[in-house]
Structure 1
Amino acid sequence: MKEPLISVIVLTYNQEDTIARTLDSVLAQYCSAPFEVVVGDDCSTDGTRHICEAYAKQHPDTIRLMPATANKGVVDNYYDCFEACRGEYIADCAGDDFWTDKYKLEKEWKVLAANANVTVVHTNWNRYYEDTKREVANKETPFASPITRGSLMLESIITQTTAPVIHLCTAMYRAKVLRDFYNTNRALLRNKEFGCEDLQIAFVLAHQGDVAYLPETTLDYSVGHTSVSCLPDSAQQFRFVQRTASLSWLLASHFNLDTPRTRAFFALKSYELLMHAFRCHNTALRSEALEYANAWRVALGKKARCVMWVTKCPLMWRAALLLRKGLVGVKGAMHPFK
Structure 2
Amino acid sequence: MFANNSQSFNKNIKVSISLVTFNHEKYIKQAIESILMQKVNFNYEIILGEDFSSDTTRDIVIEYHTKYPDKIRLILPEKNLGCSGQKIFVQTLKACQGEYIALLDGDDYWTDPEKLQKQVDFLDSNLECAICFHDVTTFFEDGSQKPRKYNDFEPKKISTIENLLKCNFIPTCSTMYRKGLFNEFPDWYDSIICGDWVLHILNSQHGKIGYINRDMGAYRVHSHGVFSGMSRIKQLHEVITCYEYLNKYLKFKYNKIVKFEKAYKYQDLALAYKDNGDLDNAKKYAIKCRELLLSEPFIGIIVIIKLLKRIYVSKMAAYKLRLNKT
Q: What is the TM-score when the length of structure 2 is the normalising length?
A: 0.78
Alignment of 1:123-202 (within 5 A): 123-131=134-142, 135-138=147-150, 140-145=152-157, 148=158, 150=159, 153-160=160-167, 164-177=168-181, 181-183=182-184, 186-187=186-187, 191-202=189-200
CA pair 8-290 structure 1, distance change in 2 beyond 3 A:
same
Return the offset for 1:239.
Answer: 2.9
Return the offset for 1:87.
Answer: 1.1
CA distance in 2, matches of 1:269, 1:317: 29
Q: Deviations over 1:234-290 (max 9, x none)?
A: xx443322122221233245252134x644422221133334445666799779858
Matching residue within 51, 68, 80 for 1:70: 80
CA distance in 1, matches of 2:120, 2:226: 29
Contact kept, 8 Å, 2:289 with 2:304, in 1: the verdict is no
User: Aligned with 2:105: secondary structure?
Assistant: coil
Contact kept, 8 Å, 2:38 with 2:116, in 1: the verdict is yes
Tell me the residue number matched to 1:206: 204
CA pair 247-102 structure 1, distance change in 2 beyond 3 A:
same
CA pair 47-212 structure 1, distance change in 2 beyond 3 A:
same
Q: Deviations over 1:107-166 (max 9, x none)?
A: 111222223222111111111233459643345454432xx2x5xx33332222xxx322
Q: Deviations over 1:30-64 (max 9, x none)?
A: 11111111112222211211211211122111111
CA pair 292-92 structure 1, distance change in 2 beyond 3 A:
farther
- Is 1:301 aligned to residue 314 of structure 2? no
Q: How many pairs were matched up?
A: 302
CA pair 240-34 structure 1, distance change in 2 beyond 3 A:
same
Q: Which amino acid aligns with 1:250?
A: Y
Contact kept, 8 Å, 2:20 with 2:48, in 1: the verdict is yes
CA pair 175-94 structure 1, distance change in 2 beyond 3 A:
same
Contact kept, 8 Å, 2:173 with 2:218, in 1: the verdict is no
User: Aligned with 1:166: secondary structure?
Assistant: coil
CA pair 248-239 structure 1, distance change in 2 beyond 3 A:
same
Q: Which consecutive unaligned segments of at least 5 residues does structure 2 have?
A: 1-9, 295-299
Tell me the residue number matched to 1:61: 70
Q: What is the TM-score when the length of structure 1 is the normalising length?
A: 0.75
- Is 1:269 aligned to residue 269 of structure 2? no
Tell me the residue number matched to 1:242: 237
